[in-house]
Chain A
Amino acid sequence: MWLTLLMVLPLVGSVVVAGLPKANEKLVKQVALATTLIVMGVTIAMAVGFERDNVELQFVEKYAWIPSFGINYALGIDGLALVLILMSTILAPVVVLAGWNEAHGGRWSVKTFYILILVLETMMIGVFAATDVFLFYVIFEAMLIPVYFLIGGYGTGERSATAVKFLIYSLFGGLLMLASIIALYVMSGAQGGHTFDLAALSSLEMSSTTQNFLFLGFFIAFAIKAPLWPLHTWLPDAAQSATPGTSVLLLGVLDKVGTFGMIRYCLSLFPEASKTFTPLILVLAVISIIYGAFLAIGQRDLKRLIAFTSISHFGFITMGIFAMTSQSQSGATLYMFNHGFSTAALFLVGGWMISRRGSSTIADFGGLQRVTPVMAWMFFLAGMSSLALPGLSSFVSEFLVLIGTFTRYPVHAIVATFGIVLAALYILIPVQKALHGPTTPGNEKLSDLNLRERVAIAPVIAIIVVLGFYPSPLLKVINPAASHVIAQFGFSDPVPSLNSGGK
């Protein structure tokens, strides 16, 4: 019942918020914060009870939902899902607290903003916990609606146009996936009864052509979500328009559904097709890494810059997933977790800078180090985490992905390594422009982070630093799950061969 409880709690919170008076914005925010904190607490309590070495699904629940179609309300998590749920529920209160005032520029009331956030949190948990493909699809699509309203209603600039672009892109991918799901459903009916159970669907027999087509249906949906080049164009616009908090949830959590889906659905449902398409996908991933990095360097807008860095990072994650070694798998999963926090730090601190300065153009900042030292340091740390500085959490995951990939695909890994060099550029250039040098006129009076903001960013920075030095608690959860994925599909790690030179 843990997972259902987790999903119900934010919904209850949203109902409570809906019942509060519109004028009392403070109370609305407090209730929303309390709800997300409770959800986080319950998640942590659940995580404590998680058996790390057990590779089977845990906390399993299953109830008939639409028996005529063999659809169940079925939940269950493995190490991968647990890590992502943990990340989502920790980020939620951070976003609420950090974005305390960001709902004020919206079209609608503050109350509506938090109702949307809480409903979204329910879906974020559900999408990772679902083990019934139909249930997953329903949440996958339904999630778009709150995000759509969050971008369109509370964003800045061309917010409604970007919201529509985001929605249409995602719906298109989702509908391709629906076609694949329908095909799976029909085939399951022909092979022993209609079902949407993930395990049962994985053992379906199908011709390799069918498998390839169905794989593409799923993969394109996920590649749009995760944004993989060339399906990424919605992301920079969305990130630029959305509020920082929404961007954190969008890039940090929702886009992870794409990479999560690649592991959970693409690999397990279509192992053969996954192998067939691996060369192509790896190339796309490497292009994403380099392309995202190059475009990030060229950005003048802080939010767009962060969005392009994410495209580069998602390239790493995708590469790790499809390199099919246990190290790259573990690395990719850990990367998803770490990326959530480093992007959150960048967006939140960046958001505070932008709201103080009233501009998101990097050139408008300058010399913040002197005026607002705490904020500047936080941004610097977040940036270092994004470029994967050793000692910070992203380094561990990026390193794992690269060495894991190198053992099987050395060329890809080497090219991808240039992404790290470019990362240093795309982070250090804005750091230099915004934080160092002479204080740009107009910036002298900016205020430093207040207590609320410090409290909000502290756990994020703490996680980045602690996991940088000591990632093993998380890796102990991830490794069994990752090895299980690899083993399940008949892959094995390539044995390192030593050149015994001279003998």
Chain B
Amino acid sequence: MTFTSPVLNYTLLSPMIILLAGALIGVLVEAFVSKALRPIVQLSVTIGTLVLSLAQVWRIRDEESTTAAMGSVVIDGPAILLQASILIISIISVFLIADTDHFTALAAALPGSDEELHAVRTGNQVTEIYPLTLFAISGMMLFPVSSDLITLFVALEMLSLPLYLMAGLSRRRRLASQEAALKYFLLGAFSSAFFLFGMAYLYGYSGSVTFAGIRESVVGGSGNDVLLLIGIAFVSIGLLFKVGAVPFHAWSPDVYQGAPTPVTGFMAAATKVAAFGAMLRIYYTVFANAEWSWSPLLSAIAIITMLFGSLVAIAQRDVKRMLAYSSIAHAGFLLAGVIALNKAGLEASIFYLFAYGVATVGAFAVVTLVRDSGGEVTDLNRWKGLGKRSPWVAATFAGFLLAFAGIPLTSGFIGKFSIFSAAYENGAKGVVIAGVLSSAVAAFFYIRVIVLMYFTDPIQDGTSVEIPSILTRTAVIFSIALTILLGIYPAPLLTMITNFSTFIR
């Protein structure tokens, strides 16, 4: 028996390898660098790693070969765009994460214990959040480029496990934060199990774990369809859980509320890009020829998700919970892009993911700024009159909300228009109509927040807006500028996406 050494094609893998290396350096920094220097060194390492990785993504965009690691990873046009989106969103998020005030000094200590008090008193702030973030990002980068089920599962776990931990790191309301982390972990574990179960059936159906192999069987149509259907169903459950679609959404409001706000923003934006990226690849390539078997059900889920998210968001009194339900509604809109199953749908989804991600991080950045002596104020009633007290912060937040609502001249409108028109092109009229109606419902609760900020008088209860640190300020300004720019003149980005986005099957 001869042994052929695997061809890995390191160039194509380099962006992910850089991230993993950066994460490992981060672990070492955590262990060996002195307490005083640690935050700044960690931040530099993290940002440096992300920028380097982004540059590397840009450099490999025109590489001849597109498969790496023996066909288990595909770096095609959409992959480049998705990876770049994830990295850009991550860089903005890290700017928020850099504000260590959000994170518990010593995550390993019990809430309220002497150990914790001691850590706080001596200023012994651990900074493990940075390497965790980098690990999560490398998982997210791998998720949408995976080209076989095993790699896909590894990537899923790689992005999830650090996120479970990160959700529990909040400095204030630590019990709620830990509860959120545990909930996320348990439900995530369930969904992983479903996912694995589906994988097994797909393997049983096609005798292959590679996307190409499964696709061949689907196209050939000779296998046992029952196995295929069960496989599609269970793999879909795993993916729909990650994107927070109804009825697999139950974790998201609690986790969004409990997790430290910078982590929530990161999770909401970057995880969506990664999970939808993977979903697009699987549905557009592997399952494309079995459209008849999943499209009706996915349409139903999309419609329910949009309507449910928009309707329930109306009743929310907490800004983070409201954004969580809004993100559920947006997951529904994004599913319309999956259902579209055409090139326009792919392009629209990528644009939407990027635009929505940037706006989401920006919105959560603003949430971190509204505080009282006890930390962030997320109760919407206490946001009253914000427009009077800090007009710029309120105006920025209003801008993000209008983008979420899809008002013209914001990126959200271009995204919504392109994704709905792509879905309509594939005949999904019901999804488009539901989308338009739930947009109207959604507009109501976004506008209600604007009313609260601008049209009600402030109450004196110690709520104030923190002067943002230079990093947070950069993040907010960058996000709002991009949100408006992509609304007024999206042509360059759209052209770029058009040139790039064809899946290699």
> Which residues in A have some Cβ–Cβ distance to B below 8 Å?
64-69, 107, 137-139, 141-142, 144-145, 149, 152-153, 159-160, 163-164, 167-168, 171-172, 175-176, 178-179, 182-183, 185-186, 189
Contact = CB atoms under 8 A, between A and B. Distances in A.
A175 B408 contact: no
Given A152-B455, A153-B455, A141 B408 contact: yes
B491 A67 contact: yes
B494 A167 contact: no
B490 A66 contact: yes
B451 A176 contact: no
B417 interface: yes
B395 to A, nearest CB: 11
Contacts of A189: 425
A167 B455 CA distance: 14
B436 A167 contact: no
A107 B454 contact: yes
B111 to A, nearest CB: 41
Query: What 6 pairs between A and B have smallest CB-CB spacing?
Result: A160-B455, A138-B408, A68-B494, A179-B436, A141-B408, A182-B421
A164 B439 contact: no
Interface in B435-466: 436-437, 439-440, 443-444, 447-448, 451, 454-456
Interface string B484-505: 0000011100110110000000
A66 to B, nearest CB: 5
B154 interface: no
B418 interface: yes
A188 B283 CA distance: 27
Contacts of A185: 421
A268 B289 CA distance: 41
A178 to B, nearest CB: 6
B403 to A, nearest CB: 12
A66 B455 contact: no
Nearest to A173: B440
A142 B407 contact: yes
B59 interface: no
A179 B407 contact: no
B494 to A, nearest CB: 4
A141 B417 CA distance: 13
Given A68-B491, A164-B448, A189-B425, 6 more contacts: A66-B414, A145-B402, A153-B454, A172-B440, A182-B420, A186-B421
A65 B491 contact: yes
Contact of A141 (B407, B414, B489): B407
A160 B448 CA distance: 10
24 contacts: A64-B491, A65-B491, A66-B494, A69-B417, A69-B421, A107-B455, A138-B408, A138-B413, A139-B408, A141-B407, A141-B408, A142-B407, A142-B409, A145-B402, A159-B455, A160-B456, A164-B447, A168-B440, A168-B443, A178-B420, A179-B433, A182-B432, A186-B421, A189-B425
B352 interface: no
Q: Summarize B's interface: helix, strand, loop or mixed.
A: helix
A69 B443 contact: no
Contact of A182 (B413, B424, B497): B424
Contacts of A171: 440, 443
A107 B425 CA distance: 46
Contacts of B317: none
Nearest to A176: B436
Interface string B358-388: 0000000000000000000000000000001
Nearest to A71: B491
Contact of A68 (B433, B436, B498): B498
Given A182-B421, A189-B425, A69 B454 contact: no
Contacts of A141: 407-408, 413
A145 to B, nearest CB: 7
Nearest to A163: B455
A68 B497 CA distance: 10
Contacts of B455: 107, 152-153, 159-160, 163
A159 B454 CA distance: 12
A116 B374 CA distance: 37
Contact of A67 (B444, B454, B495): B495
Given A183-B424, A189-B425, A175 B436 contact: yes
Contacts of A163: 451, 455
A145 B417 CA distance: 19
Contacts of B433: 179
A357 B41 CA distance: 68
Contacts of B456: 160
A183 B414 CA distance: 16
Contact of B451 (A139, A160, A179, A183): A160
A123 to B, nearest CB: 10
Contacts of A160: 451, 454-456
Nearest to A160: B455
A85 to B, nearest CB: 21
B444 A178 contact: no
A69 B418 contact: yes
A179 B437 CA distance: 9
A178 B412 CA distance: 14
B18 to A, nearest CB: 32
B495 A68 contact: yes
Interface in B193-226: none
A149 B497 CA distance: 36
A69 B448 CA distance: 32
Interface centre among A160, A164, A175 (most CB of B within 10 A): A175
B408 to A, nearest CB: 4
A171 B414 CA distance: 16
A327 B402 CA distance: 43
Contacts of A182: 417, 420-421, 424, 432
Nearest to A185: B421
Contacts of A144: 407
A168 to B, nearest CB: 6
Nearest to B425: A186
